[in-house]
Amino acid sequence: MKKLFFFIAIFFAISNLTAQIYDPVSFTTSVKEIGENKYTLSIIAKIDKGWHVYSQNVPQGGPAPTSFTFQYSKNYKKIGAVVEPKGHEVDDPVFNMRIKYFADKAIFTQNIERKTSDAFTIDAVIFFMVCNDNSCLPPGEKEVKFTFKKSDTPVDNEETASTATEEKNTDLPAKDESITKQDTRNNTTNSVSIAGKDTPEISNNSTKTSTEKTAPEESLWTLFFFSFLGGLAALFTPCVFPMIPMTVSFFTKQSKTKAAGIRNAMIYGVFIIVIYVILGSLVTAIFGADALNALATNVVFNIVFFLLLLVFALSFLGAFEIVLPSSWLTKIDQKSEMGGAFGIFFMALALAVVSFSCTGPIVGTLLVQAASQAGIAPIVGMLGFSLAIALPFTLFAAFPGWMNSLPKSGGWLNSVKVVLGFLELALAFKFLSNADLVLQLHLLEREVFLAIWIAIFSVLAFYLFGKIQLSHDSPSTHISVGRLSLGIIVLSFVVYMIPGLWGAPLQYISGFPPAKQYSESPNGFGNAVTQSTEKSNLPEGAESGPNGIPTFHNYDEGLAYAKKVNKPIMIDFTGYACVNCRKMEERVWPDPKVLNVLNNDVVLISLYVDDKRPLPKEEQVVSKITGKVLKYTGQKWSELQILKYKTNAQPYYVLMDHNEKDLNKPSAYNPDINAYYEWLQEGVRNFKK
């Protein structure tokens, strides 16, 4: 039973990882002479798989069309308009209209006539919008350059175009014949509608923080690691563990030489990986290459995931078995007898089908979590899971003597399933809590959530101590040292959670239960400070936020109060279902020096991007990203963050002055208390200059 110790670690490591917008389009340029003093300027767009940019001609109400602005110069004259490639015409599912778009690669050309033999350059700005089947990134600009030498020889510039936000070309004319009225309207992205009006754009003069740059890569490695642990957990289930000696014996006995047996076992392992990676690829295709935060904050998906994990938990606890149709296994078994690599592939597929009742819930849980992350997370998750499954078959085929050290099959395998069932059940309530938080129903507040977890893990502890037996458990007169040790760990965890009912922070599981302010008694039971007394000490329009910090949820009210008390503003882009946001609020913000700054030196404005409260009619405006009406409060704050900071990661912190200009580089998730404190201090110092 010592193999069970890491199961708790698997469970607590599953959390929402930050996602952020990246740049899926790059541009290069080239120049080709086509006649006397005549040239073709080519702009080559390389577009990441799954994404596309739009034509120069888009119907009214659609996405921002692609447009090109060439700097006016007496050194050349344009001949005609920009010519675009054939592209694809489809009924776009995002905008519900027929639109022409370009995928993978698109070459746009502009013919010119050269008017001088002197050296010169032509600067141009590309305005475009990029989308996939599920979402769109904000419209953006990129600058490109065409260089002509004095010798009349054009020079290709194959460097990727720099973003317009990094270096604006102020010499560009305000109007050019290649820009239509619609282009100009869509190009106006330097203001964002807040509370139904336009306000100046928060300066985007800062680069991404190091936390943001590394977060996606670190998230994938974290997902891979815990998916690998999930695969190890699946090995110790009744459906998989007995298959190891059977399969290894088959390869060693049926192969003519030891080398052939090892080779066949390796092929078998590779096919196991291929099968599960294909499954991950299908999930990626279904949810899109960049799912962003949609699944993590979507009420319907969270409820569906809750029900799905509930079914998985009941299956592991023995209520029923999730099995695939027996006819599938019969057909696969017949194919596996064909021999060679083809037969080995179907042997691997047979393992996946036979073990589905045990591995299905684990795979399903991993895919549920991975599907809520961006990009290739499901593929990475399945790669880690399948690698853990495949390794033993290859290693034991190479070293068959190792099998003597394996524990014998028995009732302990079923105990593994039951432990996993309890973990699945506890995790299911996290998804239900997400839905409750986003809707702000207050049905599953912190105390209720903790009470459910305390009950679940208490029953698990009694099960491990042998005080509770399920119908499919083997009779046992004693428990092993490993099972007793795990029971003590689980019981200790239960005792640790109990003070949370009275307001204890519970930092080790921060991010899983709802925040302290989302509870029946935010100040803790027995605290003399009443809710009415606390409200009377708050600024008008503010609420008591995390750790009792006065917090505004209305942008304009917070800005007005900051001007009144002459303090800098801290914008906190957050989410009700954001795990990393809760970790910052429960692990970093309570530090005395950090808490002092947040309480006394800044005005905190927390903007929840997943707030599903309807916007008043007068504040419902058309999104500059999707062209659709913003109906919910969270959509307004999400649009503000994307358009001004080109990121949708939460948490995301911005320190700004009363003119809404950044005081330093924004900060993302940063659990380093000292680094976060220095960031706060830097912004406050810059405000006082």
**Would the pLDDT of 560 be above 90?**
yes
Other beta carbons within 10 Å of 204: 15
Domain of residue 635, CATH code: 3.40.30.10
Phi, then psi, of 339 in degrees rounded to 5: 80, 170
pLDDT (tens digit per residue) in 427-480: 889 888 888 887 878 889 889 999 999 999 999 999 999 888 887 777 777 888
Same domain (yes/no): 140, 257: no
Model confidence band, residue 673 (pLDDT cutoffs 50, 70, 90): very high
Q: Name the token pair of 452.
A: 């459910």
79 within 8 A of 64, measured Cβ to Cβ: no
Whether the upstream peptide bond of residue 651 has omega within 30° of 0, thus cis, is yes
| pLDDT in the model for residue 183 | 34
Model confidence band, residue 154 (pLDDT cutoffs 50, 70, 90): low
Q: Which range marks the domain in which residue 592 is found?
A: 542-688
pLDDT: which is higher, 327 or 160: 327
pLDDT: which is higher, 356 or 278: 278
Instruction: Specify the 3-state DSSP secondary structure of 299.
Output: helix
**Would the pLDDT of 632 be above 80?**
yes
Same domain (yes/no): 134, 234: no
pLDDT (tens digit per residue) in 7-23: 444 444 433 333 344 57
571 within 8 A of 607, measured Cβ to Cβ: yes
Q: Is residue 433 part of a domain?
A: no
Helix 258-287 × helix 377-398 angle, to 10° = 170
| pLDDT in the model for residue 559 | 93
Model confidence band, residue 204 (pLDDT cutoffs 50, 70, 90): very low
What's the helix, strand, coil split of the chain in %, to 5?
45, 20, 35
Q: Name the token pair of 621.
A: 């405006």
Domain of residue 136, CATH code: 2.60.40.1250
Q: Which position has the token pair 């679940």?
A: 456
| pLDDT in the model for residue 248 | 67
Q: Name the token pair of 20.
A: 């952020």
Same domain (yes/no): 264, 116: no
Type of residue numbered 345: F
Q: Is residue 205 part of a domain?
A: no
| pLDDT in the model for residue 291 | 44
**Three-class HEC string of 155-172:** ECCCCCCEECCCCCCCCC
State how far the Cα of 400 lies from the Cα of 565, in Å rounded to an integer: 75
pLDDT: which is higher, 408 or 531: 408
State how far the Cα of 562 lies from the Cα of 624, in Å rounded to an integer: 28
Give CA separation, 101 vs 36, 54, 129, 131, in Å. 34, 4, 10, 10
Q: Which position has the token pair 């922070």?
A: 505
Q: Name the token pair of 577.
A: 């279902």
Model confidence band, residue 351 (pLDDT cutoffs 50, 70, 90): confident
**Would the pLDDT of 566 be above 50?**
yes
Q: Is residue 507 part of a domain?
A: no
Same domain (yes/no): 267, 388: yes
Q: Which residues contact 529 (CB under 8 A, 6 or more apart)?
A: 523
Q: Is residue 197 part of a domain?
A: no
State how far the Cα of 493 lies from the Cα of 121, in Å rounded to an integer: 68
| pLDDT in the model for residue 324 | 55
| pLDDT in the model for residue 214 | 40
Q: Name the token pair of 176.
A: 């050019």
Residue 604: name the closest of 571, 556, 633 by CA.
571
| pLDDT in the model for residue 73 | 83
> Pairing relation of β-strands 25-35 and 569-574?
unpaired
pLDDT (tens digit per residue) in 81-120: 999 998 888 876 656 678 898 999 999 999 999 988 888 8
State how far the Cα of 597 lies from the Cα of 588, in Å rounded to an integer: 12
Question: Hey, which of 228-237, 335-344, 440-449 has the most confident mean pLDDT?
Answer: 440-449
Model confidence band, residue 675 (pLDDT cutoffs 50, 70, 90): very high
User: Span 552-578, mean pLDDT?
Assistant: 91
> Pairing relation of β-strands 162-163 and 191-194?
unpaired
Of 391, 406, 421, which residue sits at a domain end?
406
State how far the Cα of 340 lies from the Cα of 623, in Å rounded to an integer: 57
DSSP string, 101-119: EEESEEEEEEEEEE--SS-
Q: Is residue 654 part of a domain?
A: yes
Share of the chain above pLDDT 90, in %: 21
Same domain (yes/no): 138, 247: no
User: Span 415-428, mean pLDDT?
Assistant: 85
Strand partners, 97: 92
Strand partners, 28: 44
CB-based burial label for 16 (10 Å; 0-12, 13-18, 19+): buried
pLDDT: which is higher, 198 or 26: 26
Q: Is residue 431 part of a domain?
A: no
Question: Hey, which of 16-20, 336-340, 426-430, 622-626 has the most confident mean pLDDT?
Answer: 426-430
User: Span 605-612, mean pLDDT?
Assistant: 88
Region of poorest pLDDT, from 111-115, 167-171, 329-333, 484-488: 167-171
User: Span 356-365, mean pLDDT?
Assistant: 68
pLDDT: which is higher, 78 or 335: 78
State how far the Cα of 239 lies from the Cα of 322, in Å rounded to an integer: 12
Share of the chain above pLDDT 70, in %: 70
State how far the Cα of 209 lies from the Cα of 637, in Å rounded to an integer: 21
DSSP string, 171-204: TS-S--TT--HHHHHHT--SEEEETTEEEEPPP-
Same domain (yes/no): 144, 251: no
Q: Compute the mean pLDDT over every residue in the chain, rounded to the nearest whole number.
A: 75
Residue 16: name the closest of 456, 300, 422, 434 by CA.
434
Q: Name the token pair of 193.
A: 């509608």
Model confidence band, residue 593 (pLDDT cutoffs 50, 70, 90): very high
Same domain (yes/no): 126, 241: no
Same domain (yes/no): 237, 360: yes
Q: Which residues contact 43 (CB under 8 A, 6 or more apart)?
A: 27, 28, 29, 68, 107, 108, 109, 110, 124, 126, 144
| pLDDT in the model for residue 136 | 65
Same domain (yes/no): 114, 242: no
Region of poorest pLDDT, from 210-214, 408-412, 511-515: 210-214
pLDDT: which is higher, 379 or 68: 68
Strand partners, 193: 198
Model confidence band, residue 357 (pLDDT cutoffs 50, 70, 90): low
| pLDDT in the model for residue 20 | 41
Q: Is residue 531 part of a domain?
A: no
Same domain (yes/no): 224, 144: no
Region of poorest pLDDT, from 50-64, 235-249, 517-531, 555-569: 517-531
Same domain (yes/no): 245, 370: yes
Q: How many domains, in total, are found in the chain?
A: 3
pLDDT (tens digit per residue) in 279-313: 767 765 665 443 444 555 577 877 887 888 788 78
**Would the pLDDT of 53 be above 80?**
yes
Q: Is residue 93 part of a domain?
A: yes
Same domain (yes/no): 142, 225: no
Q: Name the token pair of 380.
A: 């990475």
Of 373, 406, 439, which residue sits at a domain end?
406
User: Span 596-623, mean pLDDT?
Assistant: 90
Type of residue numbered 464: L
Of 98, 129, 148, which residue sits at a domain end?
148
Model confidence band, residue 345 (pLDDT cutoffs 50, 70, 90): confident
Residue 335: name the closest of 396, 271, 390 by CA.
271
